[in-house]
Amino acid sequence: MARRKKIYEGKAKVLYEGPEPGTLVQYFKDDATAGNGAKKATIDGKGVLNNRLSEFFMTGLQGIGVPTHFIKRLNMREQLIRQVEIIPLEVIVRNYAAGSMAKRLGMEEGTQLPRPIVEFSYKNDALGDPLVPEEYVVTFGWASQQDLDDIVSIALRVNDFMSGVMHGVGIRLIDFKIEIGRIWDNDYHRLVVADEISPDSCRLWDIETGQKLDKDVFRRDLGSLTDAYTEVARRLGVLPSNVTHRPNKPTLIN
């Protein structure tokens, strides 16, 4: 059997040539990195959970009319996606201060912001994905003003959707990152949500306890990342059947 062609390998995913032109297969690895690759580990089951969770969020977004690159999940670790031209920006939406914003402005993590804030980092590992003003985005040609306006509107729709879904299962969406891609049709393009949406790229806090259920568990050595992601998947009803969650206490079965 011919080996399929690898198109790109990132820190958490691999992209392979898809079965038809304009498609790719996105494979979710178990690798976790933080601090731009400074901290690395392999976390058993993370890829399986993120594949399911990203499918869940992307499908839900399509259901409310937000276009995404997602076509269908193929198996435990792979999904079929549309090939897109990635805009070199990390589009970050924040509802509460945390992470780099809290540090930069000396704010207490968890402080609610007056309104959601959309910000951009330039996707460049060598530079550490620096925060950039909107003016750079257009001036350096990473996106047109029209694209930029559309990106902000997509990001806010994703935020409304994600905040609502997470709130329904007792989780506060603190912030998240998405990537946006272009799909070309002759001289025209449309923008779609690409890459992944998973606890790797969101901050998720339990509403009652404040417990972190996202990649900060790994970044800050707060316990088991698999347990945190499994809890998110369990609450959303998308726990893959062969990723078994081991509760700390025995459960009484009536």
Closest CA to 88 of 141, 29, 33: 141
100 vs 211, beta carbon nearer ligand TMP: 100
**CA 10, 164, 75: angle at the middle one, nearest 5?**
40
Q: Rank residues 58 and 202 by Cβ distance to ligand TMP and give the closer one.
A: 202
Q: Compare residues 8 and 184 and give the one whose CB is closer to ligand TMP.
A: 8
Nearer to ligand TMP, 18 or 68 (CB): 68
Nearest to 53 by CA among 83, 90, 28: 28
- Residue 215 CB, nearest approach to ligand TMP (Å): 7
The set of residues, in sequence order, having a beta carbon less than 8 Å from that of 113 and lying 6+ positions away, is 94, 95, 96, 97
State the virtual CA torsion across 176, 94, 209, 239 in degrees, nearest 10.
-20
Q: Which residues, including other chains, have CB under 8 Å from residue 8's CB and lie 6 or more apart?
A: 14, 15
Which CB sits closer to ligand TMP, 83 or 95?
Answer: 95
Q: How far is the CB of 8 from ligand TMP (least distance, A)?
A: 16
Closer by beta carbon to ligand TMP, 62 or else 100: 100
Give the footprint of ligand TMP on this chain (CB under 6 A).
90, 92, 98-101, 121, 129, 175-177, 201-203
- The residues, ordered by sequence, that sit 6+ positions from 44 with a Cβ below 8 Å of its Cβ are 30, 226
Nearer to ligand TMP, 124 or 145 (CB): 124
Q: In the bound complex, what is the minimum distance in angstroms from residue 194's beta carbon to ligand TMP?
A: 13
For the CB of residue 54, give the shortest distance to ligand TMP in the complex, in Å. Answer: 12
Two tokens, residue 187: 């001289």
CB-CB contact of 115 with 85 (8 Å): no
Minimum CB–partner distance for residue 99 and ligand TMP (Å): 2
Are the C-beta atoms of residues 78 and 26 closer than 8 Å to each other?
Answer: yes
Please give the helix or strand (H or E) that residue 9 lies within, else none.
strand 6-9
Shortest distance, position 74 Cβ to ligand TMP, whole Å: 24
Three-state secondary-structure class, residue 125: helix
Q: Which residue is nearest to ligand TMP (CB)?
A: 99
CB of 98 to ligand TMP, least distance (A): 6
